[in-house]
Structure 1
């Protein structure tokens, strides 16, 4: 077992060395820029500390990516607001000529955070000073193909349109913030900035009762999860196919779509994250791209299954673009489609009604799986397998008759039985009666406005 307290101590020791080095660099940069008492060569000679023998997550990350002088400074700057914010008070020093903070220092104030948050400009000044050539040579640190971005370690936050790119805040990913400090296992939380929630299930494949067509679709997905990476990497044909595997689940609520996604994750040892597209579009209109981007950025190289529920909210049929809401929606669809196509993993989009999805989007999917309301035999199997353990049906209950008369989904059958078992416990017995079943079914039908 990993001793977290020991690892945290190692992380702290390594970071203290890096901070002492950065402090020296900052003072030296000031002497080079403002006092002209040092040369640029002296800056490059101030080498980083040797942490190769440190047994910390911080030193391991630097070693993993073979980080150079510049990369180590950028990583440390992005982490500082979370571990030692007072260190950046130096960014608030004022230029006496204008009684304003030095523009070249960069840095921004947070909404609640009283200290400074470093920007791309902060890194540029420390590493490049006022030399345009050095600044140009340092831009590689923030390009899309740099491992900082590719591995979602850190990024420059998008600046306001029209403002310099380097004016954006340096943001370290929450995952790496945790990894480099406490080293605890990180699971992202559902909130306004990360509109996805991990879903899990205690059920097994034997609990999923669906038709043969759905089972064939599930088998195809399992096949891709097992062999997809090999097909892409080991054979020439892999160059002809797009990354990842995109699936559309359609069918009424309660027919097993979410359960199937959860079971795929469970049996393949993969985390499944559910995104409710209707919530994002209605609540974050105009910011959908930003919120969805965080989901895909987090999922990079994580071997996650992404499950987008209520896909109708973005992929529904549209007649024409008539107002600002439609224009936003079209932008959001384009953005989501592009991120889905670029995602090198399993993406499942879910819709309750296949006919609601614009036909133009169907070609984007490698597979469409249509879940349907269970037929008589499937409903009978659901009634028979759903109840086990200490509870049993009354001898007067005719499950075949029940299955034939009442067209219910798997979720509705579970709801009926939940009602019945609570009634059974209220009576202090373990029997599901005909009366309770009838009342439970009535409640389910009333939800949909149906009357028995």
Structure 2
């Protein structure tokens, strides 16, 4: 399909250049019909009911990725001795040796020198257009004072991969995308929480599964705010991250944990820039955004004593706007509910408290994470471990891992109580607790 579309684009570009260089009149170009097939670009065209101009714009952005010499070779046929051709637009890249299309390239191919048509074509890059709404392609920002349309035409890497390989790639953690995908191999049955907490989690699962139907089938788009915002709060190790991963797993959504160390900057305006890139990328994606240890970014605003306080408060205000406008699920995790700025909490749809497990819950956690019975010595009584040691799920996982490694190191094949007690002692010491023997 891509090769056929490239030939279609070549036909269209040649029509425009013949009008330019062979004395023809600048008329509307004739776009050859494109047959539908099972390719991803064809499906995208069908699903979004793309117009011929929109299809060509997609192709103009995509073609350098499959045929770097595409535009250079065509232009060389009409300018064999070289020379500048500013009407066509295009720029040279740092590594790419061919012509990279710009917004001006799209205007020229689709509208020639017809000012009215060029204005209409430029609307393809409005924020309301599906290209922007779905983060498919955009015009790269240009230096102040230069025409906007002279910026490079850039297709999002995810769509480049989708159209060329048939697979939608996932963004990787970088300075441009300060978030990392997280997942779990565990099941809901492995999650040990209080019944009240579990019921509140099921409400989130209901929103993820049925909110689109409510908005579409019931016509509620104008009456309900987009997205869902929830605060998970409670001590570390009580299941906040695992719950988030399970929500993603069972609703078939990717979960991205935001790396706040890459978001927060001491330089004025950089934090907002980093947040903007993150939310722009996540817009119209079925992702769950997870802000772990959110206090550092969502904490209470301070009284303005100096310029630093002023800009810190501006960051919180900007983040508030972006979260409120985001259409997906945003989960903030904090050790304490009171640490989060009230401006955010007033706008949360739900609060879910994660509390340390009690005796019966701790026993179930020991049961879930212990190795098979054949690997456990009969001197280990899980009910006694649950009764005697106040531990979270994360503590118990760490203890079993430590004890297991210690057992293997010693050349043993059976996990004994002494190894577990050594792990418990280590966890208590790490948290500044005194282990009562």
TM-score of the superposed pair, with normalisation by structure 2: 0.87
Residue deviations 1:293-319, cap 9 Å, x none? 444444444432222223222211221
Question: Is the 8 Å Cα contact of residues 285 and 328 (structure 2) preserved in structure 1?
Answer: no
Question: Is the 8 Å Cα contact of residues 91 and 106 (structure 1) preserved in structure 2?
Answer: no
Deviates more, 1:377-386 or 1:56-65: 56-65
Question: Is the 8 Å Cα contact of residues 137 and 155 (structure 2) preserved in structure 1?
Answer: yes
Residue deviations 1:73-93, cap 9 Å, x none? 321221122222222447999
- Go from structure 1 to structure 2 and tell me whether the alpha carbon gap of 1:26 and 1:407 turns closer, same or farther (over 3 Å shift): farther
Name the residue aligned to 1:270. Answer: 253
Name the residue aligned to 2:238. Answer: 255
Name the residue aligned to 1:7. Answer: none
Q: 2:5 aligns with which of 12, 15, 19?
A: 15
Superposition map of 1:250-399 within 5 A = 250-282=233-265, 286-321=269-304, 326=309, 329-399=312-382
Partner SS for 2:120: helix
Partner SS for 2:264: helix
Partner SS for 1:17: helix
The reply on whether 1:38 has 2:38 as its aligned counterpart is no
Partner SS for 1:432: coil
Partner SS for 1:431: coil
Residue deviations 1:329-380, cap 9 Å, x none? 4444344333332333322122233232112210111001121222333223
Superposition map of 1:140-151 within 5 A = 140-151=123-134
Partner SS for 1:361: helix
Offset, 1:23 = 3.4
- Go from structure 1 to structure 2 and tell me whether the alpha carbon gap of 1:53 and 1:358 turns closer, same or farther (over 3 Å shift): closer
- Go from structure 1 to structure 2 and tell me whether the alpha carbon gap of 1:27 and 1:218 turns closer, same or farther (over 3 Å shift): same
Q: Aligned partners of 2:177 and 2:389: how far apart in 1?
A: 40
Question: Is the 8 Å Cα contact of residues 6 and 63 (structure 2) preserved in structure 1?
Answer: no
Question: Is the 8 Å Cα contact of residues 9 and 56 (structure 2) preserved in structure 1?
Answer: no
- Go from structure 1 to structure 2 and tell me whether the alpha carbon gap of 1:131 and 1:331 turns closer, same or farther (over 3 Å shift): farther
Q: Aligned partners of 2:336 and 2:428: how far apart in 1?
A: 19
Q: Aligned partners of 1:68 and 1:428: how far apart in 2?
A: 69
Q: 2:223 aligns with which of 229, 240, 246?
A: 240
Q: Aligned partners of 1:408 and 1:83: how far apart in 2?
A: 56
Residue deviations 1:277-308, cap 9 Å, x none? 33322499744444444444444444322222
Offset, 1:241 = 1.8
Name the residue aligned to 1:205. Answer: 188
- Go from structure 1 to structure 2 and tell me whether the alpha carbon gap of 1:30 and 1:283 turns closer, same or farther (over 3 Å shift): farther
- Go from structure 1 to structure 2 and tell me whether the alpha carbon gap of 1:125 and 1:53 turns closer, same or farther (over 3 Å shift): closer
Partner SS for 1:397: coil
Q: Aligned partners of 1:56 and 1:261: how far apart in 2?
A: 33
Name the residue aligned to 1:214. Answer: 197
Question: Is the 8 Å Cα contact of residues 18 and 49 (structure 1) preserved in structure 2?
Answer: yes
Deviates more, 1:399-408 or 1:114-123: 399-408
- Go from structure 1 to structure 2 and tell me whether the alpha carbon gap of 1:63 and 1:359 turns closer, same or farther (over 3 Å shift): closer
Partner SS for 1:227: helix
Name the residue aligned to 1:3. Answer: none
Give structure 1 stretches of 5+ with no counterpart. 1-9
Measured on the aligned residues, the alpha-carbon RMSD in Å equals 3.1
Name the residue aligned to 1:139. Answer: 122
Offset, 1:125 = 2.7
Q: How many residues align?
A: 431
The reply on whether 1:436 has 2:422 as its aligned counterpart is no
Q: 1:445 aligns with which of 407, 428, 431?
A: 428
Deviates more, 1:100-109 or 1:356-365: 100-109
Question: Is the 8 Å Cα contact of residues 90 and 104 (structure 2) preserved in structure 1?
Answer: yes
- Go from structure 1 to structure 2 and tell me whether the alpha carbon gap of 1:181 and 1:243 turns closer, same or farther (over 3 Å shift): same
Partner SS for 2:346: helix
The reply on whether 1:108 has 2:91 as its aligned counterpart is yes
- Go from structure 1 to structure 2 and tell me whether the alpha carbon gap of 1:382 and 1:65 turns closer, same or farther (over 3 Å shift): closer
Residue deviations 1:43-89, cap 9 Å, x none? x1x31222225554334433443433432332122112222222244
Name the residue aligned to 2:45. Answer: 62
Partner SS for 2:69: helix
Give structure 2 stretches of 5+ with no counterpart. none
Deviates more, 1:427-436 or 1:175-184: 427-436
Partner SS for 2:172: coil
- Go from structure 1 to structure 2 and tell me whether the alpha carbon gap of 1:302 and 1:100 turns closer, same or farther (over 3 Å shift): same
- Go from structure 1 to structure 2 and tell me whether the alpha carbon gap of 1:311 and 1:91 turns closer, same or farther (over 3 Å shift): farther
